[in-house]
Structure 1
Amino acid sequence: MTRLTLARFLSSLALASLCACSTQQTDTSTHSAFSEDGAGFQIDKEYLTGNGAEHCFPVDQDAFNHPIDQLSLPPSPDDNIWPRVQQGLALDYVDHPKVQAQLNWYKSHPEYLVRVQKRASRYLHHIVELLHTNNVPYDFALLPIVESAYEPFSYSHGQASGLWQFIPITANRFRLDRNWWQDERRDVPESTQAAISYLTYLYGFFDEDWHLAIAAYNAGEGTVRKAVRANKKRGKPTDFWNLSLPKETQAYVPKLIALSEIFRNPEKYGVELVPIANRPYFDVVDIDSQLDLSQASELLEVSLEEVYYLNPGLNRWATPPVATYPLKVPAAKKEAFVAKLAELPKDQRITWQRHKVQGGDTVSGLAKRFNSDVNVIRQANRLSGNDIRIGQILLIPTAKSRAAVYAYSQNQLNNRRSSRKPYSSAQKIVHQVKPGESFWRIAKLYQTTPEKIAKWNRKSPKDTLKVGERLVIWSKVKGSSRDGVVKKVTYKVRNGDSLAKISGKFNVKVNQITQWNGLNPDKYLQPGQRLKLYVNVMETY
């Protein structure tokens, strides 16, 4: 293959890592493996713990519990895409114990490979076309299996998102837009091109060595370059198999090699290749105004869920307020959709709420009330700041249908994931962030870890928390007589009660009471006031 050199990348791009299934240059893992005891697809405990750190699944368990694991575009007998993919596979098989370990796992879980192929059926043709256009091996059409199990809504608490699991710093590097309306890390065409650009750059950076390029895609080029330099200094070989890399990365390259071998020789490994059409499942319509996604669903005569899976980069209930937006639609329905859209006036494509400003209204308060965003309200009303006056009429874009209908909007995804119990005996607590609080301080308050709180709320422990933001905390309810049982209690304040008196009565801390109830510790409690408390009933007296 001709060496691909990108001089402007070499001169201008920082050495940053890309993926959730990756380690930063400090070699600190940014994710954890799937729980083996959750609902849905089951992962062998041996796979997670035997030869423990060699294995990595970078996203949360949602990737194994896809809501629509079905073939999107069945092919005719002569247009199956897999023979084309097989012809473009370029990674040679390497007879190595780490590769064999991955082969053994995939061979013993053929149902998993069937499921991810069905998910890939929406996107595979488009990805293969981009790989062909950019002259890179078709093996990378299999990389989303490693990264995200071909689930575009996958998200790791290392802040990585999408099929290719971009983290924010690398999304910025490859100009993937992220704002209130959209996150292009999940947009299939945009993120795929960005992933190809990064892999191509890495191939040139590491002297046309795909193994090192793939390792760097996982761990960051700084990590791999450091390992190469260390081996050179010691007079050791500098190929991937001899480098001292994070254990996660040691498994990452073997995974892709194993997948290439399996898809090249499926009969040998007893794996079924699900027929997928070698033609586009979706096409693009450039729309010149915002469009409510429920309207799009009606015009296309497909489910709203399908609209989101074709446009997973959309965060909300509508397309962004930009000059044109490339809406992805089923190719077979494009012509009819364009005709119907032309008949729908632009002012009817989204719903506008007229609001007359009342005393006490604020832009931030209205944004919360109407499930909108401060910047959206400013933009729609040409406000330069947050100043509004009583009697002023504001136009606020709102969803046509109730919030729950938009099941794959950012808010609904967050709500579902934060509401899922991490273990059966967990007690849910909603914590409102106070000034000066951090993940560390909140974790200490609830006797948990910053990493767990971040994961429960689809955040990174490094994120800055906003005052007033609500976080879901899962408190473990223990059943032994020594540990007691944590229960939520509603307590009605009586005459003479104080925070100190109540804390002593229920064996909790004053700052816990104030945090749970959003209280100012300097203000007196009022008789009749109701407080929520989370108490160990075995220790309360």
Structure 2
Amino acid sequence: MWRNTELVRGLTLSLALLLAACAGAPQRSADPQQAESPRPAATQAAPPELPKSSSESPGAEPALAETPMHADGLEPSADTAANGSSPPMDFWAGLRSELQFTRCADEDTQSRHWTKRYAGYPQRFQQTIEQIAPLMQYVAAELRAADLPVDFVFLPIVESTYFPHRSRGERPAGIWQLMPQTARGYGAPMKPQYDGRLDYAQATHAAITLLTHLRVQFNDDWKLVNMAFNAGEYRVKNALKGSKGSRLPEPRGLSPITIEHYAKLRSLGCLIDQPERFNLQLPIIDDTRALASVELPEAWPIEFLAHLLVIDPQELKKLNPGLFGTHTPGFPGYRLMVPARAKDDLIAGLAPLPTAVSARWQRVALADPEQQRTLVLQSGLEWDLFTSINRQGGERVWLPTGTGVPKPVALSEPAGETYRVRQGDTLWHIAKRYRLRVQQLVDWNGLGKRALIKPGQWLRLRAPE
């Protein structure tokens, strides 16, 4: 595409596809439509120990390594995992019936090559798909609403394995790996304490807006649309130019990375199209994990929204990894990701509240009922509305009496200073996840040159004081 504070930790299943051709992405032109070079995906195939350079060959070993998602509602329930062998229906069947250009019937030599390689790791593939299924459901629904092929639900797998990778400077980030200028131009801004590229809902909105633009530019040629998403619109247009202004039937001179990007997309579609052919079992979709987004143009305290949703504030933040502060960013078109089961409750809870004081909600400790009534009267809230918001009771109540000024949150919190090793982790994967070097982990934790790490072991992610 033209395009970490704390990375989220604690997922039981920590296996994910790493489909990209190299680890880093070159910087691009500030013009959101013009890329300096095609952008490799955010993750790369896992080497034995040390990370490969960003110039890794596109034919590198594919992919299934430990890039976790989140310890939140995205994690499969125990019941879902136990029943994973039952025949999948609903989402997968619907997706399969709607595929337009990634069916196995559309295979060629390149895509078949990647299909076989990914199918060589069936257990990891299945575990990964189960992890990211709620996000795939959400993206598929957004694609349908935009009248785009659901085949593009595989694009964030190729880009990032649906992991919201952070980046520095003018480099791509998020599940769609959007470049900063592109993200701003298509509705995923970057603000103090907020990065729209990292938010699942906001970045998906921006990516779909971009895909809609590209479909017009390339007349619904989905191969060219995908290539332009990776390499840039004008790069692909230039690759189609023949002599004397003629148009070539196929783009010429594009990077092998861009060519393989499209092959990987089609290979994933084939695995979903005919899973039995590759001895794959697709997981049953647990509807309790479904996600939805709510438009919130005003700034609201995250803890207050979590209170209305009746979920833990940290869970809400994990569903919205672009939020770094205490409040939502507050701009027209901002989308908050929430559990689908709670979406209507949130909308109903916010409907009677005055938007003029949206950012001012705070928890207040009250000494006695008389003080409570005085503050409620001063806040301008009706008593019935106050009691409805605070129906859970307790000595601390929610009132719109704060300053409304979002408080900055440090991007390196104490919780991010250590990491507990999970099954399947390697030093290389942990270092990559937290943007560190393997040698730093070795030095900070007093590990020997050939030391092995084991599940349950704690590692420092910072140099000792």
TM-score, structure 2 normalization: 0.61
Q: Does 1:311 align with 2:320?
A: yes
Superposed counterparts of 1:95-494, under 5 Å = 95-153=107-165, 155=167, 159-230=171-242, 238-239=249-250, 243-277=252-286, 281-285=290-294, 290-297=299-306, 299-320=308-329, 326-334=335-343, 349-350=361-362, 397-398=406-407, 404=413, 421-424=436-439
Q: Identity, % of aligned pairs? A: 22
- In structure 2, the residue corresponding to 1:314 is in which secondary structure? coil
Give the corresponding residue for 1:17. 2
Separation in structure 2 between the aligned mates of residue 97 and residue 324 of structure 1, nearest angstrom: 42
Query: Structure 1: 5+ residue runs without aligned partners?
Result: 1-15, 353-393, 409-415, 430-476, 479-541
CA contact (8 A) 2:76 2:286 kept: no
> Kindly tell me: are residues 246 and 303 of structure 1, through their superposed partners in 2, closer, same or farther at Cα, counting changes over 3 Å?
same
**Aligned mate of 1:89, from 72, 75, 99:** 99
Question: Judging changes above 3 Å, is the alpha-carbon distance between structure 1 residues 335 and 94 closer, same or farther for their aligned structure 2 residues?
Answer: closer
Cα displacement (A) at 1:139: 0.6
1:53 aligns to 2:62 (yes or no): no
Contact 1:351 1:400 in 2 (8 A): no
Structure showing greater relative contact order (alpha-carbon pairs closer than 8 Å, 6 or more residues apart) = 2
C-alpha offsets along residues 68-104 of structure 1, whole Å, 9 cap, x if unaligned? 3723796998963111111110005444332122112
Aligned pairs, number: 357
Q: Which moved more, 1:220-229 or 1:160-169?
A: 220-229
List gaps (5 residues or longer) in structure 2.
4-19, 29-34, 365-402, 418-430, 450-465
Q: Measure, in 1, the Cα distance between the counterparts of 2:310 and 2:94.
A: 32
- Corresponding position of 1:382: none
Change (3 A) 1:108 1:157: farther
Is the contact made by 2:300 and 2:327 (CA closer than 8 Å) also made in structure 1? Answer: yes
Residue aligned with 2:338, SS: strand
Deviations 1:206-233 (A, max 9, x none): 3432112211111112222222225x57
Task: Find the aligned partners of 1:343 and 1:196 in 2 and give their Cα distance.
Answer: 31
**Which amino acid is 2:59 matched to?**
E
Letter of the 1:204 partner, please give it.
V
1:156-209 deviations in Å (ceiling 9; x for gaps): 876212221110121132132211132222333332233223223323323432
Structure 1 residues 177 and 87: CA distance shift in structure 2, 3 A: same
Query: After superposition, what is the alpha-carbon deviation per residue over 1:440-478, rounded to whole angstroms, capped at 9, x for unaligned?
Result: xxxxxxxxxxxxxxxxxxxxxxxxxxxxxxxxxxxxx99
- Contact 1:182 1:316 (C-alpha < 8 Å) held by counterparts: yes
CA RMSD of aligned residues (A): 4.9
Q: Which sits farther off after the overlay, 395-404 or 292-301?
A: 395-404
- Displacement of 1:253 in angstroms is 0.7
In structure 2, distance between residues paired with 1:78 and 1:421: 39
Rounded Cα–Cα distance in structure 2 between residues aligned with 1:128 and 1:321: 26
304-313 vs 283-292, which deviates more?
283-292
User: What CA distance in whole angstroms lies between the structure 1 residues aligned with 2:253 and 2:110?
Assistant: 14
Aligned equivalents of 1:427, 1:176: Cα separation in 2: 37
The separation in 2 between residues aligned to 1:233 and 1:156, in whole angstroms, is 42
Paired amino acid for 2:271 = I
Kept in 1, the 8 Å contact 2:96–2:273? The answer is yes
What do the CA deviations read for 1:15-47 (whole angstroms, capped 9, x no partner)? x933986885443756775373589xx99x9xx
- Cα displacement (A) at 1:268: 0.5
Q: Deviation at 1:152? A: 2.9
Q: Name the larger-Rg structure.
A: 1
Q: CA deviation at 1:295?
A: 4.6
